[in-house]
Every structure is written in structure tokens, then in C-alpha cells.
Amino acid sequence: MVIPEYISKQEKGGFAGTLKNYQASLEIAQKLAASDPSNSQWQRDLLVSLKRIIEWHNYRYSVLDAPSILDSEYDKLFLELQQLEQRNPQLLTPDSPTQRAGAAPLKEFSQITHRSPMLSLNNEFEIAAVEAFDRRIREGLGTDVVEYAVEPKFDGLAVSLCYENGLLVTGATRGDGHIGEDVTLNLRTVKSIPLHLRTGAHNDHSPTLLEVRGEVLMLKEDFEKLNRQQREKKEKEFVNPRNAAAGSLRQLDPNVTATRRLTFLAYGIGVHEGGGVPRDKHSKVMEYIANQGFSIANECSVVSGSAALLSYFQKIGELRERLPYDIDGVVYKVNNLVQQGKLGFISRAPRFAVAHKFPAQEVLTELLGINVQVGRTGVLTPVARLKPIFVGGATVTHATLHNEDEINRKDVMIGDSVIVRRAGDVIPEVVGAEVELRPSNARRFIMPNQCPVCSASAMRMPNETVVRCTGGLFCPAQRKQAILHFASRGGMDIEGLGDKLVDQLVDSNLIRTPA
């Protein structure tokens, strides 16, 4: 892909202003288009605005490794563009983001043309959409039940590895789906990537050509170690394992990549010649890949019918937090390769496969204010008051900010658009702020020097990261928490003594101490 002129020009002028301008233009276009769906010019203006902002985010995400939007927010924009083009097919153009798989490679890397396109998958989020996918497949094949290969959807960087006569010769990123970046030297440092196939370079059974496709990612444990090292060196931390993996792989110096613990997990093959590669089922292809020395997900399976697809989705969702790597959904593929060929492709994705994505664990919302809570030991904890947002399967209105140092480290200001993360039963937290979207009236949070409950002095002791109320049990907040702790299962185990009753007893001055 050639980087659009408006992107290259605006990049020189500063990203923050560009994104604000694009966002403002999009909001105006959305309002006008919604007010009169029959106005073709307003529909066209909306399409231009959507294409422009999506291309910008594509460039930041896939080329610069500096994403400026959450995946969930990007998916909304992409879906809006898809639906607009479906309603107005005359507006669809070959250069639309919906017609390609990714973004352009960096100029610093040489380029590799993929022997066959590395297409992306269409995303589905609802049960009804998965059932509709299965129905389309059955109708397209003229059968009552379809067998599917199912697997986790890795949240990493897609790459292609080409082996000739059993030896690794090239490795490339997906790029725009047709041309990727040559990162062969960097990929050779990833220990989970075989430099030669197990059949051996001189074995007659080696394929003369085998293209293995998969994702480079960073395991959660390795991500934590890397960020710990970044903190010790007082360098910028990575936002998530996906960004860390992408940034590590796309280093111009392979020696830097070699210091990062990256992992490769295979999910399929591209072109191949000779070597007894299975040609009947995808599940057998995965077994073949594993036998050649590649890592594949242990959770790969084969199921039949839409009910089994949804059951697998639920199963993997329950396992998600215990997996050693990040995933953002599952992938369903027709298992029979002949049937895959019959179903074919659309412009940017195969008809025979789809990604079923989990509810977003990170979303963007507005930080309305910061409240301060007082705990049992007097610790003052800042808590974000948020514009209500649905994340991780629940509506969230508050999230922890931990302490004053964390607020400053994350550069969070009241009025910011902030990233909120909620995973499983974990307490929601503010991950950081989208500084590029910061309004002019945003303001810094200052930790109070008095307890917000009892007005006693609040102090931060040397070598501590927290501020404490000095009121002790005179402070109603500390008194309530102390009584609850005293009555808890780990204490006196007093049944029926909960938050509401303790509030009433303390507020009425009927209880002054746990004793």
C-alpha cells in the first residue's frame, strides 16, 4: 500500500492535531448522514471520513507499531464503514480499507511478495452471527452438518515462514496482505521457529517448498519480565504483549530482537510443494506442522455444528485468563480442504473461516472525576469516576488508580479519554490516557492533604507510595473497615454483619471500636 498523501503530510505536522481534526470531521459527518440517510452527498462525506480515519489508525498500528486506538474502537469504525458500503455499493472503491488485509511495510525493511495473499478474517461478535455463518456454510456446501477446525485467536503479529528443501530461507510480516516486510534475520532469533524442518534438509521426504503461517507473540510471563526491565532502566513500558512483540520483531537490529523472548505459534500453511503435506483436512495439516517442529495451540480441536462452535467459544473464554498468552477470540475454519476451495474467498477474507471475538477487555471512555476512598489502615486510594462503559462483560463506572505515583506515571488527567481494562473478576483499572485526545480543559489530580472523611491530616511517609489518614479509629471510614475486617470469615466470622449494617451502626455512633 502506498501511504496516502494526507497521512504523510499530516505526520509532519504532528499526530495529535491530525487525530483531533479527523475525529471532529467524522463526528460531523456521522450526525449529518444520520439526519438524512437519503442525502447521497452526506453519505459520501461520511464514507470519506471513515476511510481517512481508519487508514490513519491502520498506519499507526501496522506500520509504526504505535496504535492510537483500542481494537474494540477500531472494530466499531470498521463495521460502520462495512455497513455503509453495503447500503451504498456504488461508493465501494478498490482502495477502501475493507478491501485489503493490513498496512504497508516500513521503508527501512526490504519487501517480500507473498506467494499467496495473507488475508485477514471477518470478525463476528454475536451468537446469531455465528449461527448465520454456519448456515451460510451449510447452504453453500449443500449439507446438513459441517465439521470445523477450531482454535484460539492469537493476539500477536502474523508472519509467513518459507522453507525450501527443509531450510528456513525467508520470513515476512503480513504487511498489506500481498507484500510484507523481510524480517528473516529477526525471526531466526526466535527459538520456537525451527531453522530446518524435522524431516531434515537432505531427506527426500522434505517439501521442496513449505510456507508456514502463524503469529509471533510474547508470553504473559515474558511480557512482565520485559516491563520490569524497562522500569529498572527508567525506559518506557509496553502497553500490552502484542505491542511488545511487534516492536521487538520489527527492530532494524536483530541483536535487539534476540534479547526479547518471543514465541511463534503456527496456525496453518500457505503454498507448498511435495513432502507429503496433507491435502484433505486442516486438522491433519496442523498435526503435520507440529511434527515438523512447530508449536501449535494445545486447545486446537475439531467440532461439528453451530452449537459445538458456541460451546468451544465458552470453553476457551473460561480458560482465557489461564492461558500463557493473550487471545482475543477463537477461529472457526471449515476442516475439509476441498470444501474450503469450493467456498472460496471474498475480497479480503475467506468465506470458509471466521473469527469469533470476545467482548473487549479494554475500552475507551471519559474520566469524569477522581474520588478518594479511605481503607482500613487509613490508606487514601484514588478511584476513577467514569462515563459508564461496557467492558469485559459488565458495565463499569469506577476503576482503581492505585496511588498518586501511578496517576503521574500513566499521565492521567481529569477530562481525559482513558483506557479501562477489566479481565474476568479482576477489579477494573485505568491503564492509561489517550494523550492525543486530551481536551484543553483537562486538569491534574492533586492528592488531598486532609482525609476526605474525617478531615484529619493525610501524610505520606518516607519510602511509601501511599498517603494515609492520621485519624485512626476516630475516622469513620477506618472504623467501618476495621469492624468489617473483625467480623469477616477470617476474623470472628460474624454472620449478617455486612456493609449496610456497619454503616448504620457507625453513623449512629453505636459502635466506636471493633472491641
65 half-sphere exposure, CB direction, 13 A CA radius: 19
Class of domain 5-99: mainly alpha
State the cell numbers at 357.
471475538
State the cell numbers at 447.
492528592
Domain boundaries, the chain: 5-99, 111-357, 362-446, 472-507
Q: By CB neighbour count within 10 A (0-12 exposed, 13-18 middle, 19+ buried), where does 204 fall?
A: exposed
124: left (phi over 0), alpha (psi -120 to 50) or beta: beta
Please give the C-alpha separations between residue 405 and each of 277, 400, 412, 466, 469, in angstroms, as whole numbers: 56, 13, 11, 8, 17
State the cell numbers at 458.
493525610
**Sheet strands side by side (includes 157-164):** 167-173, 157-164, 209-217, 263-273
Taking alpha carbons only, the member of 6, 273, 13, 284 closest to residue 162 is: 273
Residue 233 annotated in active site: no
State the cell numbers at 253.
537490529
Give the integer Cα–Cα distance in Å for 208 and 33.
55
Give the integer Cα–Cα distance in Å for 139 and 25.
42
Give CA 393 to chain center in angstroms: 15
35 half-sphere exposure, CB direction, 13 A CA radius: 8
Strands (E), 96-240: 111-113, 123-124, 147-154, 157-164, 167-173, 179-181, 209-217
In terms of DSSP bridges, do strands 327-334 and 379-391 run parallel, antiparallel, or are they unpaired?
unpaired
Does domain 111-357 bear CATH number 3.40.50.410?
no
Give CA 43 to chain center in angstroms: 30
Give the integer Cα–Cα distance in Å for 114 and 180.
7
Q: For residue 202, what pLDDT is reported?
A: 40
pLDDT tens, residue by residue, 379-430: 999 999 999 998 877 789 999 898 999 999 899 999 999 999 886 556 888 9
Give the integer Cα–Cα distance in Å for 71 and 220.
19
Q: Are 390 and 359 in contact (CB under 8 A)?
A: yes
Q: Are 277 and 286 in contact (CB under 8 A)?
A: no
Q: Angle 97-98-103 (CA atoms, 0-180°, nearest 5)?
A: 40
Coil, strand or helix at 315: helix
Give the integer Cα–Cα distance in Å for 452 and 467.
12
The DSSP call for residue 183 is -
| CATH code of the domain occupying 472-507 | 1.10.150.20
Instruction: Tell me which CATH homologous superfamily contains domain 362-446.
Output: Nucleic acid-binding proteins (2.40.50.140)
Point out the catalytic residue in the list 51, 153, 281, 333: 153
**Residue whose grid cell is 510474547:** 218
- Residue 428's H or E segment, with its range, is none
In this prediction the pTM is 0.68
Q: For residue 64, what pLDDT is reported?
A: 61
Give the integer Cα–Cα distance in Å for 338 and 327.
29
pLDDT (tens place) for every residue of the chain, 515 residues total: 233 333 344 343 445 557 788 888 888 989 999 999 889 898 999 999 998 898 888 767 755 657 778 888 888 899 999 999 999 989 888 778 887 655 555 567 899 999 999 988 988 988 999 999 999 999 999 999 999 999 999 999 999 999 998 889 999 999 888 999 999 989 988 888 888 887 644 444 678 999 999 999 999 999 999 999 988 888 878 878 888 999 899 888 888 888 888 999 999 999 999 878 999 999 999 999 988 888 899 999 999 999 999 999 999 999 998 999 999 899 999 999 999 999 998 877 899 999 999 887 788 999 999 999 998 889 999 999 999 998 877 789 999 898 999 999 899 999 999 999 886 556 888 988 988 889 999 999 999 999 999 999 999 988 888 999 999 988 998 888 888 888 887 777 787 787 788 878 887 777 777 76
Q: For residue 13, what pLDDT is reported?
A: 42
Phi, psi of 295 (to 5 degrees): -85, 135
State the cell numbers at 209.
517448498
β-partners of residue 383 are 371, 400
